[in-house]
Structure 1
């Protein structure tokens, strides 16, 4: 099992390295060379990693389908004078009814904010960002005040086109309006509307990157300390995964600069979680194998070579499934989802590169002492518990594999039924766990004006047919009013107000009728965008999910040289996804009080759970295949693989679940839902599916699991009893 030393007469102390000969020089030079190379790489990458925020885009069109009607509206608006319009709604409310003094105060505030159309010239984005008064913005206009039936709420629509091309200017405009629209003597004043919602959303997204990096790092550090119980060892994977994250950020910055691919705050945040989660998983597997090899090899360099040979194929296949799944997102029509594909793939590849090069180099240079106080001495045997947990699990599965498999399948199926209780589509104002001012304003409007839209449906029509389009829009059933807006570049903007409440079924029907009757025009706005998002996500699922399944099956077939084993593993993770979605249906509405589900969530969670969840099946089945090649019988190979990989995979699954659970601490409902589903799915896969279901199926199928490979029909020569097998009858 161990390799022989080049100088047998020379004693080898713990962590020592021979000093003579070309082999000894290689053992010293290789890790130092790798470390030096990484220092150079990090020195270059560090200067670019910090600039990733410069290429992140969080405009409306960046989160919309590339070919949707509403996306065309957003792009055309951006070309109009002043760019995409910024619409606000001032909401004045007093319980019991507004007084005359309240109305006078509202009128005074409105006069401070707005100016008559055409009295101010548009300024540059820099001038607008430095504005001290909302009147400095070009042509800030307001519509007529609308009072609710109970007289308790007064609404004014306010809009300006000037700041929309610059995020800082838009924020300055919204902040200035909020500063002047202040509560007075018991009357609450809130600023809502699409412009305020966008500014509040950008404020949340802007803080995601640093928050995620810090929170994920702390979670990983804590779990590594608990896993290794060493004052030093936990720090090595953490430093290495941090190096991988720096390289990933620099690489994504370069890709975005070169190709123009869409990088949003959402995709950058998810990439951070992927780097830390997947990278730490790879580190746990490699370190566990390295520790075993240190007991068989006298020199750390040789032990690391053996460890890389043993688990390297599994790590490559594991990362390959994740990358393949993420690359399939390029087939999506949704801009931010399509951009997440290469961004996430780069993160996983950088994490893998760091764990296969930098981590081995550092561990070899530090020698055995890095494991202190539990140093694995050469020739020693690992300490065994009287009753190994995973041996006990394997024994229970081995006694009644059919009953265990059927029970697990029924349990997962029952949990999946909860998916029928998932809430409907998530509305924009319901997107936050802690509601900002804009969502509170929209909630007040929804209560005060249940039968009236508080946001316009935006129509872009060729200027030559603007009058005809305006007349046609006003004649459409469900339209309360339609007004002509700006013109430029051959296009004219028309603001349509629906009679129905925003994002209601009646308003959706009105949008559909507008699109059917307005020939040559594009219909957009926030409500139209929500419709297009739902339609596009349904289409993307039909395209991307089969691609993900096919690519993952291909990678597994190449690694395991089998068709049955890949089908077994993929079926298992699909069942896990269904069960995790079902648990979400039982928790999101009844427990957490969420009123909607992000329409892109089913696709994203499917990709991550299938691509990441199959990793643990890879580690298990690859070890099973190793044991089979060594001569173990099907039963012995399956149970030995479970016992030997159980601890490290349990640690890896816990780390991955915890890193995604960090998303649930963010103030966005979409991230809470995503983090919860993926974390629950990973835990189900780690402790139920891989341990019991896959092992039971493996025992029942025996050699047939390797069909049509040679292991399925060629018995291997007996190698005697395996000392590694603990528990479970033969």
Structure 2
């Protein structure tokens, strides 16, 4: 198969070019399969969603809104301005505002009354909650609110008016991703060109890499959209930057591996075609196994409960699959066609082994990569190297103790964003929880008749830590425009409480506080003397808590699946069980260290970020494991294992470090999107990949293989402490590859 790619090199190159053209012309683009809906980010069967629907149905009046109009004047809203807020809401409720009939209802609340901590100022701020018919799209809701503000809410010289809420924030986030994605693509192209060009000091090598990236990107982009349409799922906008960066990075990695080996063989004196065949025979099995590892690991996300992760996993797997197939065919075919011209204007030079580098004079060693010396020291003092690496990783991982998860949809937007600014203005006049309250619903036959118990429960809820205000059946008189009838159902079989938290309703503090309240509710209900009732919670804080809990449950379930898949692939490729165990353990340690550092930097992380980063880092780490250990296994066929480890590790170190640096740089560019989740992913992936390339693969893994020795290959027989017929003089590269 590998020889066939070289033999049919012109057919392969022309075929991929035609395939890319056909994909662009015949298949839909991924932009046509996007979704801006919030539904992809929450569990399908979320109890909080069911409670919200039941609350609206039973009471006939919603209390939860994700689109809000905020008015604030630090000098105070005049009586006329406050009256105008109420008058506009009344007109909307009567559908008396032409062009805005799709706004089903409006509920105005001002801070003219109330006390701390519910209000932070007096008479400065008004919030109008907007409610829409179910058929109004999330994006249209924010647009309607903005247009209403522009046409009917006059601005004041000292005041601010804006639209905020989860619906508006989701639209802003999607727009920011679309705006910055072309910048990320161009920056990644520049990074790849500079890194590969600097590594090989040539023009052709980066051009080949970029051409491979372009073809793989065009094909995967359109195939993903086509598959999505056929299977009935949409691609969240949040997924595309990660798919792009991963594809660019993976193709670049594989191209670097091919180019590095091809240049070394040319430097050894092999003709163009012989070098291309030997490179393909040696590298394609390694790269194929590495790609399959990433594909299998990311595909395990299909078992997640969140639609976002269920699409995220297969989307990444499909991108890597296309990148793999294109790389293992197009790159070797081009090597066979272009040959030495890829490295013009420089001539390929022999890369020294560890032993040869050790014999250089100090002058000759100037500029020699320090990685070879690090590999040599790791192999000479393996126990010290392992102990040092484990200690460093353990210290970095200590930050995990302080890790907290949140869902900062609004506050995750960049400073100065109008949606975030409107949120900040509202939080100056009210407690932040007013932006997205929680509703507790009690259901039971004639529960409204248990007035004393309902009032007692309201008082107990108000005493809970993290709660600023509770409105409910005990309310006398109505507060802030909230109707008393909104707290008791028409049939008397349900009652509900409007709970306002003191902290950001989508932040870790409010989510943790609501979790504690949720755990105490059964006891509070019983202590209040309420009988034969069931409690449920609705609202974004409750939904975020439930989503985070289910995401963590997914992590506990899918993490073993991912590790098992990686173990299986490594075991089959290496024909061993021992080595895959400690290789995976090293990758997990690297992930834990990256997460610990991320926790120290950010304090709290967006709830799905650790999940995505875990799968990506562990699978990509195993990708490098395959390349590094695969080279060791190959080298061990021609020399004793003790010699094969430093020789293979030093020869692979430069390629792995460059590949890791390029991939880390590519993920760092995701941070250009000014949304907190993307910046968290950028930092965690960059730190994790650098740890992997500079510490794990350069020091820890060679030291571990040295300690375990030939037992690493158990139960296979591919390793031994001495290699039959091996000497200090390496055999011809063609023979290492299995050729004659």
Which TM-score tier does this pair reach, normalised by the shorter chain? Answer: 0.7 to 0.9
Q: For this pair of structures, how many residues does the alignment match?
A: 671
Mapped pair 1:135 → 2:100: yes
Counterpart of 2:471 (choices 454, 460, 480) is 480
Structure 1 residues 222, 514: closer, same or farther in 2, change over 3 A? farther
User: For residues 575 and 636 of structure 2, what CA distance do their matches in structure 1 show?
Assistant: 13
Structure 1 unaligned blocks of 5 or more = 1-22, 122-132, 486-491, 590-595, 725-730
Q: Deviations over 1:95-136 (max 9, x none)?
A: 3x4152xx4235446656762424369xxxxxxxxxxx7635
Residues 297 and 566, structure 2, Cα contact 8 Å, conserved in 1: yes
User: For residues 169 and 627 of structure 2, what CA distance do their matches in structure 1 show?
Assistant: 45
Larger mean CA deviation between 542-551 and 167-176 belongs to 167-176
Structure 1 residues 461, 700: closer, same or farther in 2, change over 3 A? same
Counterpart of 2:122 (choices 139, 142, 151) is 151
Quote the residue 1:600 is aligned against. 608
Structure 1 residues 309, 643: closer, same or farther in 2, change over 3 A? same
Quote the residue 1:9 is aligned against. none
Mapped pair 1:88 → 2:67: yes
CA RMSD of aligned residues (A): 3.7
Quote the residue 1:610 is aligned against. 618
* Mapping of residues 390-539 of structure 1, within 5 Å: 390-450=371-431, 453-457=434-438, 477=458, 478=461, 479-481=470-472, 497-501=498-502, 502-503=505-506, 504=510, 505-508=512-515, 523-539=537-553
Quote the residue 2:116 is aligned against. none
Structure 1 residues 50, 214: closer, same or farther in 2, change over 3 A? farther
Q: Deviation at 1:511?
A: 5.6
Counterpart of 1:720 (choices 722, 727, 738) is 727
User: For residues 680 and 229 of structure 2, what CA distance do their matches in structure 1 show?
Assistant: 31
Residues 64 and 436, structure 2, Cα contact 8 Å, conserved in 1: no
Quote the residue 1:317 is aligned against. 289
User: For residues 77 and 96 of structure 2, what CA distance do their matches in structure 1 show?
Assistant: 33
Secondary structure at 2:205's aligned position in 1? coil
Q: Deviation at 1:564?
A: 1.5
Secondary structure at 1:189's aligned position in 2? strand
Larger mean CA deviation between 648-657 and 177-186 belongs to 177-186
Residues 473 and 514, structure 1, Cα contact 8 Å, conserved in 2: no
User: For residues 493 and 166 of structure 1, what CA distance do their matches in structure 2 show?
Assistant: 30
Larger mean CA deviation between 296-305 and 471-480 belongs to 471-480
Q: Deviation at 1:429?
A: 3.1
Give me the TM-score of the superposition, normalised by structure 2. 0.81
* Mapping of residues 683-722 of structure 1, within 5 Å: 683-712=690-719, 715-722=722-729
Structure 2 unaligned blocks of 5 or more = 113-118, 462-469, 474-482, 487-492, 526-531, 732-740
Mapped pair 1:37 → 2:8: no
Counterpart of 2:637 (choices 629, 637, 649) is 629
User: For residues 719 and 98 of structure 1, what CA distance do their matches in structure 2 show?
Assistant: 87
Mapped pair 1:278 → 2:250: yes
Q: Deviation at 1:498?
A: 1.0
Secondary structure at 2:305's aligned position in 1? coil
Structure 1 residues 473, 82: closer, same or farther in 2, change over 3 A? closer
Q: Deviations over 1:466-491 (max 9, x none)?
A: 99799999885334148788xxxxxx
User: For residues 82 and 241 of structure 1, what CA distance do their matches in structure 2 show?
Assistant: 54
| Larger relative contact order (Cα-Cα within 8 Å, sequence gap ≥ 6) | 2
Secondary structure at 2:321's aligned position in 1? helix
Quote the residue 1:185 is aligned against. 157
User: For residues 253 and 288 of structure 1, what CA distance do their matches in structure 2 show?
Assistant: 34
User: For residues 354 and 274 of structure 1, what CA distance do their matches in structure 2 show?
Assistant: 15
Structure 1 residues 52, 113: closer, same or farther in 2, change over 3 A? farther
Give me the TM-score of the superposition, normalised by structure 1. 0.82
Residues 645 and 702, structure 2, Cα contact 8 Å, conserved in 1: yes
User: For residues 708 and 266 of structure 2, what CA distance do their matches in structure 1 show?
Assistant: 35
User: For residues 664 and 273 of structure 2, what CA distance do their matches in structure 1 show?
Assistant: 32
Counterpart of 1:218 (choices 164, 187, 190) is 190
Mapped pair 1:266 → 2:238: yes
Larger mean CA deviation between 151-160 and 292-301 belongs to 292-301
Structure 1 residues 409, 661: closer, same or farther in 2, change over 3 A? same
User: For residues 206 and 515 of structure 1, what CA distance do their matches in structure 2 show?
Assistant: 45
Residues 100 and 144, structure 2, Cα contact 8 Å, conserved in 1: no
Residues 73 and 524, structure 1, Cα contact 8 Å, conserved in 2: yes
Residues 209 and 265, structure 1, Cα contact 8 Å, conserved in 2: no
Q: Deviation at 1:648?
A: 0.8
Counterpart of 1:61 (choices 21, 39, 43) is 39
User: For residues 331 and 497 of structure 2, what CA distance do their matches in structure 1 show?
Assistant: 60
User: For residues 76 and 26 of structure 2, what CA distance do their matches in structure 1 show?
Assistant: 55
Counterpart of 2:144 (choices 173, 176, 179) is 173
Quote the residue 2:645 is aligned against. 638
User: For residues 288 and 346 of structure 2, what CA distance do their matches in structure 1 show?
Assistant: 29
User: For residues 84 and 212 of structure 1, what CA distance do their matches in structure 2 show?
Assistant: 41
